[in-house]
Amino acid sequence: MPIYRLNPIVAIEDFGERSLALHCEDLRLVELNATARDLVNRLDGKTPLEAVAAAMAADYAQPVEVILEDARVILGQMEQLGIVEPVQPDTTEDQK
Protein backbone atom coordinates (compact mmCIF):
# COMPACT_ATOMS: atom_id res chain seq x y z
CA MET A 1 0.00 0.00 0.00
CA PRO A 2 1.70 3.20 -1.12
CA ILE A 3 2.00 6.11 1.27
CA TYR A 4 2.77 9.64 0.10
CA ARG A 5 3.55 13.05 1.52
CA LEU A 6 4.10 16.52 0.15
CA ASN A 7 7.74 16.95 -0.80
CA PRO A 8 9.32 19.12 1.95
CA ILE A 9 10.87 21.41 -0.67
CA VAL A 10 7.44 22.30 -2.09
CA ALA A 11 5.34 25.25 -0.94
CA ILE A 12 1.66 25.50 -1.81
CA GLU A 13 -0.37 28.68 -1.97
CA ASP A 14 -4.14 28.61 -2.36
CA PHE A 15 -6.03 30.98 -4.65
CA GLY A 16 -9.72 30.28 -4.33
CA GLU A 17 -10.49 26.88 -5.82
CA ARG A 18 -7.04 26.53 -7.35
CA SER A 19 -3.60 26.30 -5.85
CA LEU A 20 -0.03 26.77 -6.99
CA ALA A 21 2.70 24.38 -5.90
CA LEU A 22 6.19 25.86 -6.02
CA HIS A 23 9.09 23.43 -6.25
CA CYS A 24 11.63 25.57 -4.38
CA GLU A 25 14.77 23.90 -5.81
CA ASP A 26 13.73 24.03 -9.47
CA LEU A 27 11.64 27.20 -9.10
CA ARG A 28 8.89 25.44 -11.03
CA LEU A 29 5.19 26.23 -10.53
CA VAL A 30 2.47 23.64 -10.93
CA GLU A 31 -1.20 24.55 -10.84
CA LEU A 32 -3.42 22.22 -8.80
CA ASN A 33 -7.17 22.07 -9.22
CA ALA A 34 -9.40 21.77 -6.16
CA THR A 35 -9.48 17.96 -6.26
CA ALA A 36 -5.71 17.61 -6.59
CA ARG A 37 -5.24 20.08 -3.74
CA ASP A 38 -7.68 18.11 -1.59
CA LEU A 39 -5.72 14.95 -2.33
CA VAL A 40 -2.42 16.60 -1.38
CA ASN A 41 -3.97 17.97 1.83
CA ARG A 42 -4.79 14.42 2.89
CA LEU A 43 -1.27 13.07 2.35
CA ASP A 44 0.26 12.92 5.82
CA GLY A 45 3.06 10.45 5.19
CA LYS A 46 1.32 7.86 7.39
CA THR A 47 -2.03 7.03 5.79
CA PRO A 48 -2.04 4.48 2.94
CA LEU A 49 -3.37 5.72 -0.37
CA GLU A 50 -6.27 3.27 -0.20
CA ALA A 51 -7.49 4.88 3.05
CA VAL A 52 -7.08 8.37 1.59
CA ALA A 53 -9.09 7.33 -1.47
CA ALA A 54 -11.80 5.76 0.70
CA ALA A 55 -12.19 9.00 2.68
CA MET A 56 -12.34 11.05 -0.51
CA ALA A 57 -14.86 8.63 -2.04
CA ALA A 58 -17.11 9.08 0.97
CA ASP A 59 -16.77 12.88 0.84
CA TYR A 60 -17.41 13.05 -2.92
CA ALA A 61 -20.05 10.27 -2.98
CA GLN A 62 -18.09 8.40 -5.65
CA PRO A 63 -17.02 4.75 -5.93
CA VAL A 64 -13.74 4.17 -4.10
CA GLU A 65 -12.30 2.32 -7.11
CA VAL A 66 -12.76 5.40 -9.31
CA ILE A 67 -11.22 7.74 -6.75
CA LEU A 68 -8.32 5.35 -6.13
CA GLU A 69 -7.51 5.06 -9.84
CA ASP A 70 -7.72 8.83 -10.32
CA ALA A 71 -5.54 9.38 -7.25
CA ARG A 72 -2.91 6.98 -8.59
CA VAL A 73 -2.77 8.86 -11.89
CA ILE A 74 -2.60 12.29 -10.22
CA LEU A 75 0.04 11.17 -7.72
CA GLY A 76 2.11 9.58 -10.48
CA GLN A 77 2.16 12.90 -12.32
CA MET A 78 2.91 14.88 -9.15
CA GLU A 79 5.67 12.46 -8.16
CA GLN A 80 7.35 12.95 -11.56
CA LEU A 81 7.16 16.72 -11.00
CA GLY A 82 8.64 16.39 -7.51
CA ILE A 83 5.51 17.72 -5.78
CA VAL A 84 4.88 14.58 -3.70
CA GLU A 85 7.11 11.72 -2.68
CA PRO A 86 6.50 8.16 -1.55
CA VAL A 87 7.22 7.32 2.07
CA GLN A 88 8.35 4.03 3.49
CA PRO A 89 5.96 2.92 6.25
CA ASP A 90 7.34 3.15 9.76
CA THR A 91 7.55 -0.45 10.94
CA THR A 92 9.19 0.35 14.28
CA GLU A 93 5.77 0.36 15.96
CA ASP A 94 5.10 -3.15 14.63
CA GLN A 95 8.38 -4.44 16.06
CA LYS A 96 7.60 -3.48 19.67
| Coil, strand or helix at 35 | helix
Q: Please state the rounded mean pLDDT for residues 67-92.
A: 90
**Alpha-carbon distance 78 to 73, whole Å?**
9
Answer for the pair 12, 21: CB distance below 8 angstroms, yes or no.
yes
CATH of 3-85, one of 3.40.1350.10, 3.40.30.10, 1.50.10.10, 3.90.930.60: 3.90.930.60
- Kindly report which listed range (61-65, 69-73, 79-83, 86-90) carries the lowest average pLDDT score: 86-90
* pLDDT at position 56: 98
Please give the pLDDT value at position 96. Answer: 47
pLDDT tens-digit map of 36-46: 999 999 999 99
- Domain parsing of the chain, residue ranges: 3-85
